């Protein structure tokens, strides 16, 4: 009789199961505030250290795997936008998605390890938001482009924990408030026609 794990499908399932166990271990360690390294993940997942390195060759890939899990659980629309339309239309999915995974989203937003997870995507994040804001900011100075783009990115995803903890808002309410703020900002950027941000339009 053929071992079901010795078929292409069985091997693929076994690999996915091992990867999932390692990501589960990572998330548990992050939630505990533990330092993250391959040895701790191996011990927590009950998987050999060499196997962990085979799936995740460095610390950055460990952190990226957690980011992928978080965004996957929050929903398929929780991705980096490439246009204004994507920034605005994805707000409800992002904020309501964070509500669905509130304990995990809180860990990612409030711990040093969660910050490391977010920073693992810094390059992709900044490239994406620069592309999404390019049309609205094209007439500004380089510094003002940076400032405006950073503000749009913050409004797009960052205030979830503050708005939840301090104001008791739901994801739907956050999406509404941040959407209004982003549309106001985008309209201002176009109306100023390259004038510096400190000038009142």
**Which tokens in the block code for residue 105?**
């989203």
List the single range of 30-39, 93-102, 188-197 with lowest mean pLDDT.
Answer: 30-39
Q: How many CA atoms lie within 13 A of 108 on its CB side?
A: 29
Query: How many CB atoms lie under 10 A from the CB of residue 88?
Result: 18
pLDDT for the residue 136: 97
Q: Give me the mean pLDDT over the 39-61 stretch.
A: 93
Is the pTM here over 0.85, yes or no?
A: no
Residue 56 gets the label, from left (phi > 0), alpha (psi -120 to 50) or beta, of beta
For residue 172, CA distances in Å to 96, 124, 156, 180, 182 come to: 6, 26, 13, 12, 15
pLDDT at 44: 93
Residue 195 has pLDDT above 60, yes or no: yes
| Token pair listed for 7 | 């078929």
Q: Rounded CA gap, 73 and 95, in Å?
A: 12
pLDDT of residue 3: 54
* pLDDT for the residue numbered 77: 64
Q: What is the mean pLDDT of residues 141-151?
A: 98
């Amino acid at each position: 009789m053929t071992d079901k794990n010795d078929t292409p499908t069985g091997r693929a399932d076994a690999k996915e199961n091992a990867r999932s166990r390692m990501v589960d271990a990572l998330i548990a360690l992050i939630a505990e505030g533990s330092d993250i390294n391959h040895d701790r993940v191996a011990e927590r997942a009950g998987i050999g250290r060499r196997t962990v390195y085979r799936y995740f060759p460095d610390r950055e890939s460990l952190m990226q795997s957690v980011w992928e899990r978080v965004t996957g659980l929050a929903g398929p629309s929780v991705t980096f936008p490439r246009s204004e339309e994507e920034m605005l239309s994805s707000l409800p999915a992002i904020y309501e998605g964070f509500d669905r995974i509130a304990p995990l989203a809180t860990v990612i937003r409030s711990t040093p390890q969660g910050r490391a997870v977010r920073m693992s995507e810094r390059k992709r994040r900044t490239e994406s938001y620069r592309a999404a804001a390019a049309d609205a900011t094209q007439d500004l100075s380089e510094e003002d482009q940076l400032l405006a783009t950073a503000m749009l990115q913050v409004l797009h995803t960052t205030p979830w924990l503050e708005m939840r903890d301090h104001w008791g808002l739901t994801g739907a309410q956050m999406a509404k408030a941040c959407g209004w703020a982003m549309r106001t900002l985008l309209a201002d950027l176009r109306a100023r026609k390259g004038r510096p941000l400190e000038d009142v339009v």
